[in-house]
Amino acid sequence: MVSGEELQEVVTAHSPDSDDAFMFYGLATRKVRSALVKFQHVLSDIETLNQKAMQGVYELSAISYHAYPYVADKYVLMASGSSIGDGYGPMVITQKPCELSELKGKRIAVPGLLTTAYLTLKIVEPDFEPVVTPFDRILEAVQTHAADAGLIIHEAQLTYNRSGFHRVIDLGKWFKQEYGLPLPLGGNVLLRSLSPEVQSECTRVMRESIQYALDNHDEALQYAMQFARDLDRNLAEKFVGMYVNHYTVDCGEVIPRAAQKLLDLGFEAGVIPKRVEVEFVR
C-alpha cells in the first residue's frame, strides 16, 4: 500500500440523510479503505449538491437523477450508490383528501427544481405552480397554507400521516405501474476528468462500503441514526431499508434502463432541455 501522502484525495459530497449516512458508513469510519484514493467527506442537502455539480465542484458527488442531463458533460454516473424507489417514492400530500386531477393549477411546495421528485411530478401533472421550499419545511408550508399541496421526500414519507395529511399520489408506485420499472431518485457521480483507474477504484470502494453497511447492519444503522430527523429506530430502519437495497450495491441493467426512461420522459414533457444517454462507471 502506498503511504497516505501519495493517495489521491477525492472530495466526496453527499447529503446528511440517514440512507446516505448508512451507505457511506464504511468509508466515513474507514472500515473500508483504498490503496489508491482517500476520501474527504462534505455534507450538504441534495439541491445544493445538484447546483455544485453544475460547476464541477466535487470529484465525487451525490446528485438527483434529474440533475444528470445538466452535469453529464462533467460527470459520469457510478454503478453503486443509487437510491431507488422500487414501487414507492416521493409523495404528494394535502391537508384534505384530494384527487390527482384536483392538483391542476395548484401551488405545490417542492424540495427543489432539480430533484427527481419534481421531474416525476411534472411528468404526471405538468400544470401546477411550484413553491420551492426546504424539504424539511414542506409539511409546515401545507399546514400554514403557503402551498395547497406538498411534494415530500426523505423521512416525511413515513411520518406525514402522523400530522393528519392525506396522500394524493406515490410517484414511485405510479412509475412502477406505468413502466414496470423502479424509480431512480438519487445517484453518485464522478468527474470525467479523473483517471479511469481512480473512477473504477471509487466505484469499487463505494460498493464495498454499501455492502459493509448491509453486512454490519446494526452498527451502520446506529451511525446513520444521528442523521435521522425525528425518526425512532424502527422508522429509521424502515427508511434505510427502502432506499439502500441490492440496486444500491450495483445498479445492474435495470437502473440504467429506468434512468434513461425517466430522463427521456422528462425531455418529451419539455422539463429537460436536451436528451442525454446515461453512462455508468462500473
Q: What is the pLDDT of residue 5?
A: 54
- Residue 98: predicted pLDDT: 95
Is there a single domain that holds both residue 124 and residue 238?
A: no
Which burial class, exposed, middle or buried, applies to 206 when counting CB atoms under 10 A from its CB (0-12, 13-18, 19+)? buried
**pLDDT value at residue 4:** 45
Please tell me whether residues 210 and 70 are part of one structural domain: yes
Predicted local distance difference test score (pLDDT) of residue 202: 97
What pLDDT score does 3 carry? 45
**For the chain, how many structural domains are there in total?**
2
Residues 22/240, Cβ–Cβ less than 8 Å: yes
Residue 144 shares a structural domain with residue 22? no
Among 125, 160, 179, which residue terminates a domain?
179
Burial pattern 155-170, b for ≥16 Cβ within 10 A else e, equals: bbbbbbeeeebebbbb
For residues 190 and 273, membership in a common domain is answered with yes
- The predicted pLDDT at position 235 comes to 86
Provide the whole-model pTM: 0.94
Residues 171 and 194 in one domain: no
The residue ranges of the chain whose pLDDT is under 70 are: 1-5, 228-230
Identify the active-site residue in 154, 166, 217, 246.
154
Give the CATH number for residue 188. Answer: 3.40.190.10
Task: Tell whether 60 and 115 lie within a shared domain.
Answer: no
Q: Return the closest-CA partner of residue 190 out of 34, 83, 56, 82.
A: 56
User: Does residue 80 sit in the same domain as residue 193?
Assistant: yes
Question: What is the pLDDT, as a whole number, of residue 229?
Answer: 65
Catalytic residue flag (residue 14) = no
Q: State which of 179, 205, 237 marks the end of a domain.
A: 179
Of 179, 197, 228, the last residue of a domain is 179
Strand runs labelled E in 34-165: 37-43, 60-64, 75-78, 83-85, 91-94, 107-110, 129-132, 149-152
Question: Do 33 and 162 belong together in one domain?
Answer: no
202-219 confidence digits (pLDDT tens): 999 999 999 999 999 999
Q: What is the pLDDT of residue 88?
A: 96
Type and span of the H or E element at 176:
helix 171-179
Domain that holds residue 127: 91-179
